[in-house]
Structure 1
Amino acid sequence: MTTWITVCDTCKRPEWTETQTGMTDGERLAAMVEAAAVDLADVKTRRVSCLMGCKSGCNVSIQAHGKLAYTLGDFEPDTDAAEGIVAYATSHAASETGQVPYRTWPQAIKGHFVTRHQPIPSDDQSE
């Protein structure tokens, strides 16, 4: 089953200025995440404009059908963060429930979790 990494490409960290790179911090992080995940079969990436976590910019979500989903934020737009996000998403994809044991988390994602969401019930489950 595919795990999706959704990256907010409009995120700007407090120190961001347009003159730095012409790209938002979210665009920079998205490009690095995309590069780190380019050949992975079970992990896909996509960009969205706004995950509504502006106080914690650079934000991503990690999700798959029938699994726990996570929102992470407050990343620096750098390769360590991107590689950690992709490594965690790879473990999420390999997990039956989406839960990944803490001892296996990449250091780069520790302290960045914002929310965890339960899987949406299937249509054939009662409310």
Structure 2
Amino acid sequence: MTTWITICDTCKRDGWDQTGATATDGETLAALVESAAADVPGLRTRRTACLMGCKTGCNVAVQARGKLSYTLGNFAPEAEAAAGIVTYAALHADSATGQVPYRSWPQAIKGHFVTRHPPLPDDDGPAGDGTAMTAA
């Protein structure tokens, strides 16, 4: 099963506009993550225009069908962050549920978790935990 790393390529950390950079911080992090993940089995990357986590940019999402999904943010656009993201995503890919034991987390991602999402139900029926979901 494939684990996807979705990288916000529009993220700009505080002070970006004063750096003179031509690429956004998100574009820089995306290129580093893409390079680090290039030959890792079970991982794919994609870019998106916005993950709506602007206060915690740079942001990524780690997702796979049928598994817990995570949003991580507040990364510097550096190789160490990209390597940590890819290492964590590979552990996510190897996990049956998407949950990775804390002791296995790379140091570079500790303190960067923003949200955790349960897997979507397989169909449009009840949530599967005994409570029905209702539309808002």
Q: Which moved more, 1:74-83 or 1:9-18?
A: 9-18
- Segments of 5+ residues of structure 1 without an aligned counterpart are none
Q: Deviations over 1:55-90 (max 9, x none)?
A: 001000000000000000000000000000000000
CA shift for structure 1 position 15: 1.5
Amino acid paired to 2:49: S
CA shift for structure 1 position 30: 0.1
Q: Which moved more, 1:9-18 or 1:39-48?
A: 9-18
The residue matched to 1:84 in structure 2 has which SS? helix
Amino acid paired to 1:16: W
Output the CA distance in 1 between the equivalents of 2:116 and 2:9.
21
Q: 1:124 to 1:50 in 2, by over 3 A?
A: closer
| Match of residue 36 from structure 1 | 36
| Match of residue 46 from structure 2 | 46
Instruction: Give me the TM-score of the superposition, normalised by structure 1.
Output: 0.96
Pick the structure with greater CA Rg.
Answer: 2
Task: Summarize the alignment of residues 55-74 of structure 1 with structure 2, pairs less than 5 Å apart.
Answer: 55-74=55-74
Instruction: Give me the TM-score of the superposition, normalised by structure 2.
Output: 0.90
Amino acid paired to 1:27: E
CA shift for structure 1 position 125: 4.8
| Match of residue 82 from structure 1 | 82
Output the CA distance in 1 between the equivalents of 2:53 and 2:106.
22
Q: Is 1:91–2:95 an aligned residue pair?
A: no
The residue matched to 1:20 in structure 2 has which SS? coil
Q: Give RMSD over aligned pairs.
A: 1.2
Runs ≥4 in structure 1, deviation > 6 angstroms? Answer: none
Amino acid paired to 1:71: T
| Match of residue 2 from structure 1 | 2
Output the CA distance in 2 between the equivalents of 1:97 and 1:74.
25
Q: Is 1:104–2:104 an aligned residue pair?
A: yes
CA shift for structure 1 position 40: 1.6
